[in-house]
Amino acid sequence: MTNIGYLILQTLAAAAGTVGFSLLFGVPVRYFCHCGLIGGAGWFLYLLTLPATTSAVATFAATVLVILMSRWFAVRKQCPVTIFLISGILPLVPGAGIYWASYYAVTGHMAKAFDTGLTALKVAIAIVLGIVFVFELPQKLFCIGTRKS
């Protein structure tokens, strides 16, 4: 499979997974497409930036995009930002890294456990910093072009 095919397949899988988690979290059906778009766009940016940088920096960039899009859709759809934020951020959460760190620790491979756990911790911190960074932007920036502005 070509690189572009791989990117498209991964992006579609992330979008579908995001919609699945939206269903699980009780997001109204009318927002599923928006949630899928946000999750897919975040994962796409992550995949694009990953070859040029570390996973933590790629996750930070993708998180910033996810939160920007979440805030933008929340203003336009007049609903809470958490509807889009929680499901949209899930493809970036380092679940596999935490799993493997635990697995290596249990099986006695402490060096691998430490490396994998440290990477997962860096990614988690990158997600938190991305969320905080975008939420510090004034709400007026997201109201531009709406009747509220």
pTM, to two decimals: 0.90
In this predicted structure, what is the pLDDT of residue 12?
96
Q: Give the orientation angle of helix 110-135 with respect to helix 55-77, to 10 degrees.
A: 30
What element of type H or E holds 146? none
Please write the tens of the pLDDT for every residue from 73-132.
Answer: 999 999 999 999 999 999 999 999 999 999 999 999 999 999 999 999 999 999 999 999
Please write the tens of the pLDDT for every residue from 14-29.
Answer: 999 999 999 999 999 9
pLDDT over 60 (residue 148): no
Q: Which residues contact 126 (CB under 8 A, 6 or more apart)?
A: 56, 57, 59, 60, 63
Please write the tens of the pLDDT for every residue from 34-76.
Answer: 999 999 999 999 999 999 999 999 999 999 999 999 999 999 9
**Dist CA 22 CA 28 (whole Å):** 8
**Dist CA 56 CA 127 (whole Å):** 8
In this predicted structure, what is the pLDDT of residue 144?
74
Alpha-carbon distances, residue 83 vs 10, 27, 60 (angstroms): 23, 6, 20
